[in-house]
Amino acid sequence: MKLLVKNVLPINGDGKTLCDVAVTNGIITAIGRAPEGFAPDDTVEGGGRLCMPALVNAHTHMYMSVLRGAADDLPFMQWLFEGVMPREDKMDVGQAYWGSLLSCVEMIRRGCCTFNDMHLFPGAAARAAQDIGMRAVVNRAVTGPDGGERRINEMLGEINEFKGCRNVYFMIAPHAIYTCSQEYLTKLADIAEELALPVHIHLSESVAEMNDCLRDHGCTPVEYLVKMGFFKNKTLAAHCVQLTETDILLLAEHGVSVAANPKSNLKLGNGIAPVYQLDKAGVNVCIGTDSAASNNSLNMFSEMNYTALLHKGTNGDPTVIPARKAFEMATVNGAKALCIDKLGRLEPGWKADLVLLDTDVPQMMPLRDLYAAVVYSCDGSETDTVIIDGRPVYLHKEFTTIDTEELYYNIRKIAEVI
Ligand SMILES: [Zn+2]
C-alpha cells in the first residue's frame, strides 16, 4: 500500500518549502520529492498544511470517558473510591467498548494516534483501536493479592487473544504500590521479564501515597520499588508528582520513563511533577492525559502546552522546556517509553503516523517557528487529517473508518444508566 501526501510544510523543514511525503506499507520512504517511479494507491492533498508526527498519549484510561463529568472537584481518594469505582463496578465490556471508541475519536481529532491504556477492559480498548485504525498499547491494571491470581489469568488470556494484531502492543500493569502487595508486585515483575514485556505503574501520584509508604515501609515509593528489584524491566511510571531529589536520581539510574499528566494532577490537586528536573537528570519524560474522568479531556495539544508553561512558571525561568522539548515529550519520548520502535519523528524509515494542521487560521498567522506554533498557539482544532500506519483514518475532518453518529447515540444511552 503506497500513499502520497502532497504539498505539506514538514514541521522539521524550513517553514517555507512545500514537500511531498511518500509512504510505503506504513513507513515514510521519502520527504521532499517522491522517489522515481513511485505509484501511489492513494493520494492526500495537503494544501500547504503543516505536517507533523502524531502525538503519543503515554498514560490514559480509555473507557473512563463515559465517566466524564461524573465526579468533579473532589479530593483525590474521594474521587477514586466514591466517584469512580462504584460506577466502574456497574460497567460491562460493551459499555467499555463505546467509552474506548469515544476516547479514540477525541484523541484522533486532536492529532494523537497512539494511546497507552491501563485499566479493567483492555480487550474493549484493543477492539476500539482496531475498528478505528489507531495504534494501541493496552494493559490490564491488576491489583492483589485479593483476586490477584484471577486477574493475572485474565490478563494473560487477553494478551493471547490480541497477540499478533497489527498495532496492538502490551504492557504489564500493577495498578500502584497501594493496591498491590510487595509479593504481588514482585510476581508481576517476574511475569513481565518472562514475557519480555515492559511495565506500567502509577507511582508517587499523591501526598497520601508518599506518606503511607514512608509510614509502612520507611522509604519513598520509588525507593520501595528499587529495593525489591522491580525496575529490572523497562518501566513507565505514571505521574511521579511527589519525588525527592534521590528519587529523581534513582529513576534516571534505573532507566525508568516518566509519564507526566499535568492537567489531571492539577485538577485532582495532586501537584506538579518536577518535569524539568527529571529531564535534566536524564529521565525519558513523556506526556499523558490520564482519564477523561479526571482531566476532563484527552487533548494532547493542551497537555503539551501545560508542560511547556507550567515548568517555566514553577522554575521562574522562561528558557526551561522550550517548545521543541515539549513536542518531543509528546511524540518520540512517548514512543520510546512504550517501546515502539521508530515512531514520533518525521523522517524516512520512521512509522507514518502523520497529522496535517490547518495553517489558514488566525492563531497560526504569521507562521514563524513551527514548534512554537504547535505548542503555544494550537489547541488541536487545527487538525485536518490524520494518517495512522500509512492509512488516512481522519480525512479533512471526517472519519473514514467509523460512524460517529452511532457512537454518540450509544454514549448518551450509557450515560443514562451509569
Ligand atoms: Zn492513571
Position 4 pLDDT exceeds 90: yes
153 grid coordinates: 489469568
Question: Angle at Cα 271 formed by Cα 268 and Cα 272, nearest 5°?
Answer: 125
pLDDT digits (tens, 9 = 90+) for 69-86: 888 898 888 888 888 888
Average pLDDT estimate for 312-338 = 98
Distance 196 CA to ligand 1 centre (A): 23
Average pLDDT estimate for 180-184 = 97
Provide CATH code, domain 2-53+352-399: 2.30.40.10
- Domain spans, the chain: 2-53+352-399, 55-337
Q: What is the structure's pLDDT at 134?
A: 98
Distance 62 CA to ligand 1 centre (A): 10
Closest by alpha carbon to 262, among 210, 321, 211, 212?
Answer: 321
Average pLDDT estimate for 214-225 = 98
Ligand 1 ion: residues within 5 Å (CB): 290
Provide CATH code, domain 55-337: 3.20.20.140
Kindly indicate the confidence band of residue 35, based on its pLDDT and cuts at 50, 70 and 90: confident
- Per mean pLDDT, which range of 66-75, 254-263, 378-387, 397-406 is the poorest? 66-75
Q: What is the structure's pLDDT at 202?
A: 97
Percent of the chain with pLDDT over 90: 92
Position 34 pLDDT exceeds 90: no
- Cα–Cα distance between 322 and 318 in angstroms, integer? 8
For residue 214, give the amino acid letter.
Answer: L
Distance 259 CA to ligand 1 centre (A): 10
Residue 80 is classified by DSSP as I
Average pLDDT estimate for 347-365 = 98
Instruction: Look at 70 and 244; give whichever has higher pLDDT.
Output: 244
Percent of the chain with pLDDT over 70: 100
Report field, pTM of the whole predicted structure over 0.95: yes
Q: What is the structure's pLDDT at 243?
A: 98
Distance 119 CA to ligand 1 centre (A): 8
Position 33 pLDDT exceeds 90: no
Closest by alpha carbon to 415, among 293, 290, 298?
Answer: 293
Distance 415 CA to ligand 1 centre (A): 21
70 grid coordinates: 461524573
Q: pLDDT averaged over the chain?
A: 96
Position 374 pLDDT exceeds 90: yes
248 grid coordinates: 529523581
pLDDT digits (tens, 9 = 90+) for 335-352: 999 999 999 999 999 999
Position 44 pLDDT exceeds 90: yes
Distance 276 CA to ligand 1 centre (A): 21
Distance 338 CA to ligand 1 centre (A): 15
